[in-house]
Amino acid sequence: MTGSAATARIILICHDVPFGRAMAAAMRARFGSALHGILAIERPVSLRQRLRRTLAAAWRATPLERRVKRLEARLAREAARAFDCAAAPPRDWPPGAAVHICANPNASASAAWLAAQHPDLIAVTGAPVLKPTVFTLPRLGTLNMHSSLLPAYRGTQAEFWQVLEQDWQSCGITVHFVDAGVDTGRIVLQRRTEGAAGLSPQMLRTRNLLQALHLVPDAAAAVLEGRAHPVLQGPGPKARRSRDRTLAARAALLRRLGYLPGSGTPGPVPHSAGRQP
């Protein structure tokens, strides 16, 4: 690590989950005390709220929806176990780093905490769309990790759409600067992830997360040391949103993977998210 990186102040924004703690450990291993702070996103839900939501969802859900949810939960558990076995995430945040737990990184209290840290660089590995009041704080900018080879599959849950549409050429990790668009900023680094028929979105996500533990520190080091040559993105399809992931699309994906009976070929889904011709 060069002198400029050693004296920098890096802030990590992530979710308070095993991957977030594994990323914090990877950044600490790479940058030492230059990982100055961590803004961890946590959305606590009381037992009463969880019970109400579960009962309400069960009351409204169709038999197909209940089955889809059970299968998705099972696949998520399998992928989480695979990540834990491969990454061995620590239970705690790195000692000595300032930690701010919040529900919303765009809230005024979160923005004030970030500003008080005087960051040179922010690295984001899980967060809602950030407001300019947050991503413009660091003098070197804010980096974001996205789970596709941009500009393909902008937006949420790229792995879901890649598996549904069998687009293995776009699988991978992109680290890019954050700008006012959704996953449209200049690209710093990209690396492909191996995908193949039969792989679940959840397991593809695990492969991406394991790769990100190396790629995000590499990208941050390149920016801090002045070695980065960010590349403008070309045109791409409209970003996918959570509501595009309909029950019909979810069931089609599970049929393709063989978890539900019926044709393995999905029907029409919202606008194509692959590379444009």
pLDDT tens digits for 73-93?
999 999 999 999 999 999 999
Which residues face 100 on adjacent strands? 39
How confident is the model over 119-134, as a mean pLDDT? 97
Q: Say whether pLDDT at 277 is over 50.
A: no
Output the CATH code of domain 3-257: 3.40.50.170
- Pick the closest to residue 146 from 109, 185, 90, 116 (CA basis): 185
Look at residue 63 in the predicted model and tell me its pLDDT: 92
Model confidence band, residue 52 (pLDDT cutoffs 50, 70, 90): confident
pLDDT of 217 above 80 = yes
Integer CA distances (angstroms), 76 to 81, 145, 175, 205, in order:
9, 20, 24, 10
Q: What is the pLDDT of residues 254-275, one digit of tens each?
A: 999 999 998 655 444 443 333 3
